[in-house]
Amino acid sequence: MTDKVTGGCLCGNVRFETAATPAAQVLCFCTDCQHISGSMCYTAYIVPLDTVVLLQGEPGRFDTPSDKGRNNSRRFCTECGSRLWAELESGVASVNGMALDDRTHFRPTHNHRLGTAPDWCKVDQSLEDLPVSG
């Protein structure tokens, strides 16, 4: 199937597939993403949640409320700690673009929450800014 891409965690314990055509590819500079990724932003590969299919392993889950009070369920490998995807109540998944087997497949289309981008990081202002929603 060419309409799927595959990915997994660092240790290989968890494997998944998802849609090859994402709804958006977002660099998220929110503080939760910074905290979890250890980076200035998270590579959020946005797809419908039902396109994310677990192929192997059993990822852990950590739920955090968004600032609008909706749940954001963050999935990760319990062996190696790699962040895999987040499940949003709106029915979308935010897959870690760098967890894809072909990480060159991730091409950012949007910035999100630039207000909390560190002042030392270079931001690609040519990308569209994705407004904050629920």
Q: Interface residues with Zn ion (CB under 5 A)?
A: 9, 11, 13, 28, 30, 33, 77, 79-80
Which residue number, 8 or 19, has a Cβ lying nearer to Zn ion?
A: 8
Report the alpha-carbon distance of residue 48 to residue 95 in Å, rounded. 10
Is the separation of the CB atoms in 74 and 63 below 8 Å?
Answer: yes
At 69, which amino acid appears?
Answer: G
Report the alpha-carbon distance of residue 66 to residue 107 in Å, rounded. 25
Which residue number, 2 or 128, has a Cβ lying nearer to Zn ion?
A: 128
57: which residues sit within 8 A by CB, 6+ positions away? Answer: 9, 13, 14, 15, 77
CB of 3 to Zn ion, least distance (A): 26
CB of 94 to Zn ion, least distance (A): 8
Which residue number, 33 or 117, has a Cβ lying nearer to Zn ion?
A: 33
CB of 85 to Zn ion, least distance (A): 13
